[in-house]
Structure 1
Amino acid sequence: MKIEIIATTVQEAKVAEANGADRIELITGIAEGGLTPSYGLIKEVVNAVKLPVNVMIRPHSYSFSYSEEDINTMIEDIQIVRELGANGVVLGTLKEDRTIDVNSLEKLLPVAGNLDVTFHRAFDEVDDQEEALEIILRYPQINRILTSGGKANVTEAVDRIKNLVALTVDKPLHILAGSGLTVDNVDDFVSETGVVEIHFGSGVRMEGKSLRPVDPEKVREIVRRFQ
């Protein structure tokens, strides 16, 4: 089991590492679903921890449909992520009709090179997730899809996640389940869906609130469940 923790500060990244997490998703703007963090924050986190650090590439929270200027911004941000030695990037692009924007994706992926790539929860905005999955599978650079199965809370999408996991068996891509997982519900969820990667935001924060710091005890307890 791979356990990914959202970090918004250097201290949170250190807490995630010290308590057994496997990977960090580094973002800013957690209340907006995650935006691209600053150059300085990326640099400091990468230098502070040995864990893989995957950096959100999302220039704004208006939508997942991006203009040419947005794509140029994302390209520059990916280049900075590579220069600073982060492990990977977290990105996603949609067209206005809520299908995968292949043209934009094909501008971003070459810049990512050999970075680890996660297609983020833009996937949860599409109307047909199976069709979207088939499109994403055409790009072997993409290592995983972060998804809540199209629901606000992933625990309401057990059957959908189970199906997506089944569709990616023996494929070079994993389903990273997130949004709504907590210490209390993660055991049953993993058992029912068969996911091998899980993602935590507010579920490992103090008082379960997104704008509170990461709680080391919650991280430690989740890691203990899957050792």
Structure 2
Amino acid sequence: MQKASYSSKGQGGALEICVESVRSALAAEQGGAQRVELCDSLVEGGTTPSAGLIEVTRKNISIGLHVLIRPRRGDFLYSDLEFEILKHDIAMAKRLGADGVVLGMLKEDGEVDTERMQELMVLARPLSVTFHRAFDLTPDPFKALNDLICLKVDRLLTSGQEQTALQGTALIRALVEKAGDKLVIMPGSGINAGNVYEIISKTGVKEVHASARKKVDGTMRFRKNYPPMSSVGQLSEFEFLVTDEEQVKAMREALEKSNAPIADKPARS
């Protein structure tokens, strides 16, 4: 099912693009990304993609494929039934050829749910595991980081507990220094070609995460605007947000000019 076998471990960093369609995954690959995070419903922060989307994406790209494991929008305190869904979705992602999973669980007090995370980690291996931006809702980021290091999580996606990664550079840098080589700190939220150099310079990160999206018009000729098909009002039924290959290229070029250690080959881990 996988087109290639490659690991970025020990070979520099990566440009990761979050996508919600095969079309966007292909654009990310053509633009020079080393890895995609495959999601559904990015307008709601992202949820687990379908089995069909994972399988068809895996068949059509050769770069790294990490799958978001998140059963719903909202907070990251999950019921027993939702925890069962998380476990089944991890198994599905493994079966369909994902290189990694992106997940996160918190307790009622906002701290990392280390007990349940440990169970998910065991299920996920040998895939790479990224702890997502649930981290940005924890009360003590350094305790949370230590918990993730003890869990042997591979990577942490964070905005530095701010709305954007650029605003959170001070905390991101502190996390990089504390984590050392025990865990990769990957900033995300609001990163683009215009600010990626500044973010790397201020934080010392080796990997970055971005969406690089644009709005496109659908191809239907007959268009009935009422009734609406969803409660999300950002787009009409005939508009889509897709990865912009040119934005990905621009970000890759900005990374290269900054001398960031971005891997030349697909980052499969």
- Name the TM tier (shorter chain): over 0.9
Whole-Å separation in 2 of the counterparts to 1:79 and 1:120: 18
Tell me the TM-score normalised to structure 1 length: 0.94
Choose between structure 1 and 2 for higher RCO, CA contacts under 8 A separated by at least 6 residues.
2
Higher helix share: 1
Tell me the TM-score normalised to structure 2 length: 0.80
1:221 aligns with 2:250: yes
Match of 1:18 in 2: 30
Conservation of the 8 A alpha-carbon contact between 2:18 and 2:39? yes
Structure 2 gap segments, 5+ residues each: 1-12, 216-233, 257-269
1:56 aligns with 2:68: yes
CA distances 1:194-215 after superposition (whole Å, capped 9, x unpaired): 11110002xx1126x9952111
Q: Secondary structure at the match of 1:62?
A: coil
CA distances 1:206-227 after superposition (whole Å, capped 9, x unpaired): 26x9952111111001111223
Whole-Å separation in 2 of the counterparts to 1:131 and 1:61: 25
Q: Could you list the runs of 4 or more consecutive aligned residues of structure 1 that deviate by over 4 angstroms after TM superposition?
A: none
Shift of 1:113: 1.6
Equivalent positions of 1:180-191 (< 5 A) are: 180-191=190-201
Shift of 1:110: 1.0
Conservation of the 8 A alpha-carbon contact between 2:35 and 2:65? yes
Structure 1 gap segments, 5+ residues each: none
Shift of 1:170: 2.7
CA distances 1:45-72 after superposition (whole Å, capped 9, x unpaired): 0111001100000001131001111111
Q: How many residues of Structure 1 are paired with residues of Structure 2 in the alignment? A: 222
Equivalent positions of 1:113-152 (< 5 A) are: 113-140=125-152, 142-152=153-163
Equivalent in 24, 47, 58 of residue 35 of structure 1:
47
Conservation of the 8 A alpha-carbon contact between 1:5 and 1:21? yes
Match of 2:221 in 1: none
RMSD: 1.4
Give the % identical residues.
Answer: 37
Match of 1:8 in 2: 20
